[in-house]
Structure 1
Amino acid sequence: MGNRLDDNISSAANRTIVVTGGNSGIGRATASMLAGMDAQVVLAVRDPAKGRAAADAMRGTVDVRHLDLADLASVRAFAEEFTEPIDILINNAGIMAPPLGHTADGFESQFGTNHLGHFALTNLLLPQIRDRVVTISSIGHRMGTINFDDLNWERRPYKPMAAYGQSKLANLLFTSELQRRLTEVNAGVIATAAHPGLAATNLYRLQGNRLLASVTEAAIGLISQDEHQGAVPTLCAATADIPGNSYVGPRRFKETFGQPKLVGRSAAAKDAQVARRLWTVSEELTGVGFPEL
């Protein structure tokens, strides 16, 4: 686990790579770097105008398509319209610690967007994916718990960061259960995960409290890396020669910055029984299941 992975990034040339949320932050940096490696990159974004602006600033072949992960109808429409083979799907888009809100389908916004939207998208696209699925988690997964009795914060006081932690823990549990299922059917596709550490992106622009947002941004700016450095773990998870269910993050100061390596995860993120239960519940909530491969 101590070996550097950035020397093991493979060529992305001529590979079709879908990046959700590719118009800003880590997603934009990831997409730009992959396009610069001659990949055929697709930005799957909620705001196509912002996506096109981001694409215009990138060197290489970059397409833009509409996808709103907070709306399962949009997820289904994207999957139905995307008929080309996909080499790598990077589940990058996410929101962090907003005030209590809900997706178009009534799910708490962070759980619905960060986990359920990507869960549905991945399973709908999986028959077209040829290499791997990369899902972006966070060091914040360590403060998360999966509360099956109240996944949508309907009966307990809403805590934005706790809800964020739940969604990021769900990302890792999803990755491990997806890998188990892929292995079971000898799919030839792997599932990996990554986290950027602390990266100075607009993800930390907390909503609803301007003073807290300003203080948080200032503090993170002092100790964080830029979005391109934060994107390197994603590149490794997407292209390096690593096994399924690998988790890549920065190596220094409790995984907050530095060169990438394979990192550990919380005990809760290793619970296979919870991972299987979460998968079943996610199928019930989204109406999307693991496809025949």
Structure 2
Amino acid sequence: MPSSQITDRLPPLRLPDLSGTTAVVTGASAGIGRATATALAHAGAEVILAVRNPVKAAAVADAIVAAMPTAQVRVEEVELGSLASIETFAERIGTSRVHLLINNAGLSSADANDLTADGFDLQVGVNFLGAYALTCRLWPALVSGSGRVVMLGSMMATRGRITPELGRPTGSTVTSYSDSKLAAVVFAQELRRRAQASGSPVSAVAAHPGWAQTDIFATNGPPAPVTWVARAMRWIQSPTDGSQPVLLAATAVDPAPYYGPVRHGGLSGAAGPVKLPAGAEVAGVGPIVVESAAHLTGCLLPL
């Protein structure tokens, strides 16, 4: 069922005027990323579509500008499964101010044995380690912009586990996806804690879209019997509705640690603060995630 068949049900989220800000949105050529980038551009932000497929993203940029001719949008190529590509992307951005970094890009349909260019489990490598490396490489620009980092979690994060073996193939696509999303949520909380403790102007928040009809949804809906899934179909959200927790996380004046839909068990509904996955509140997981990511990516956050 293509996402175009799911209609928007929620009233549009009213965003503040973002004129003069720069937002980097990964995975912005489809789904939640496209909806997020569109909303930020319409609110006045200059939006950088950080994507693997620049041709596809160019069509998204054209659509945004067609709807709002004053929108400022540009496309930059980056492969989050390659640390070299991430470093090159960050060099192109340079020390320009980045006010928002939306680490949205993700994979859920990789083969259990697929690896990144650097030898990491593909899902963990793209969904978390790539996002960590991008955040680390853009750190000077984030500091200059007093920026906010938004990490994309998932309902599947509740099934994840944090271990020192982060990045090694698990032999299961569901396990790798769940672990990667829990790591993303944990990273946001640890980054938030370290930034506050050090007096850094950078903030960090996590958000999950609930159950939204996106490319990822096609292969990774919530774990449940087929009958339950069929019953829940009426709660599937459009990408636009699913982007609301992300947008709230990006723009809230005093953000909560984690945002998501607040109805139907977190599947859908208006966005608001939600409870962190239990695995994100286990003592000691924050340092494990950050130190493992720093070791694997070769990039140490100055916090």
Q: Provide the TM-score with structure 1 as the length reference.
A: 0.88
Whole-Å separation in 1 of the counterparts to 2:160 and 2:93: 33
RMSD value, Cα: 2.2
Correspondent of 2:279 among 262, 265, 268: 268
Contact 2:163-2:288 at 8 Å conserved across structures: no
* Structure 2 equivalent of residue 64 of structure 1: 75
What does residue range 186-197 of structure 1 map to in structure 2 within 5 Å? 186-197=199-210
What does residue range 230-249 of structure 1 map to in structure 2 within 5 Å? 230-243=242-255, 246-249=257-260
What does residue range 253-264 of structure 1 map to in structure 2 within 5 Å? 253-264=264-275
Equivalent residue of 1:203, what SS?
Answer: coil
Partner AA of 1:80 in structure 2: E
Contact 1:91-1:118 at 8 Å conserved across structures: yes
* Structure 1 equivalent of residue 6 of structure 2: none
**C-alpha distance after superposition, 1:217-274 (max 9, x if no partner):** 988754301000001111100001124x610100101111010110001221112411
Partner AA of 1:93 in structure 2: A
- Give the % identical residues: 38
* Structure 2 equivalent of residue 94 of structure 1: 106
Whole-Å separation in 2 of the counterparts to 1:97 and 1:106: 18
Whole-Å separation in 2 of the counterparts to 1:229 and 1:176: 24
What does residue range 1-293 of structure 1 map to in structure 2 within 5 Å? 9-58=15-64, 59=68, 60-83=71-94, 84-100=96-112, 101-129=114-142, 130-149=146-165, 151-153=167-169, 158-206=171-219, 222-243=234-255, 246-291=257-302
Whole-Å separation in 1 of the counterparts to 2:252 and 2:42: 17
Contact 1:16-1:85 at 8 Å conserved across structures: yes
How many equivalent pairs are there? 277
Contact 1:35-1:61 at 8 Å conserved across structures: yes
Equivalent residue of 2:295, what SS?
Answer: helix
Contact 1:248-1:260 at 8 Å conserved across structures: yes
* Structure 2 equivalent of residue 3 of structure 1: none
Whole-Å separation in 1 of the counterparts to 2:122 and 2:105: 13
Quote the offset at 1:69 in angstroms: 0.3
Partner AA of 1:255 in structure 2: G
Quote the offset at 1:162 in angstroms: 1.4
Whole-Å separation in 2 of the counterparts to 1:189 and 1:150: 25
Contact 1:103-1:109 at 8 Å conserved across structures: yes
Equivalent residue of 2:101, what SS?
Answer: strand
Q: 1:103 to 1:124 in 2, by over 3 A?
A: same
- The answer for unaligned runs of 5 or more in structure 2 is 1-11, 221-226
Contact 2:16-2:43 at 8 Å conserved across structures: no
Q: Provide the TM-score with structure 2 as the length reference.
A: 0.86
Whole-Å separation in 2 of the counterparts to 1:85 and 1:285: 27
Partner AA of 1:74 in structure 2: S
Whole-Å separation in 1 of the counterparts to 2:302 and 2:166: 27
Q: 1:7 to 1:61 in 2, by over 3 A?
A: closer
Whole-Å separation in 2 of the counterparts to 1:14 and 1:233: 23
- The answer for unaligned runs of 5 or more in structure 1 is 1-5, 208-214
**C-alpha distance after superposition, 1:269-290 (max 9, x if no partner):** 1124111012111111000011
Contact 2:259-2:273 at 8 Å conserved across structures: yes
Partner AA of 1:132 in structure 2: R
Partner AA of 1:138 in structure 2: S
Partner AA of 1:256 in structure 2: L
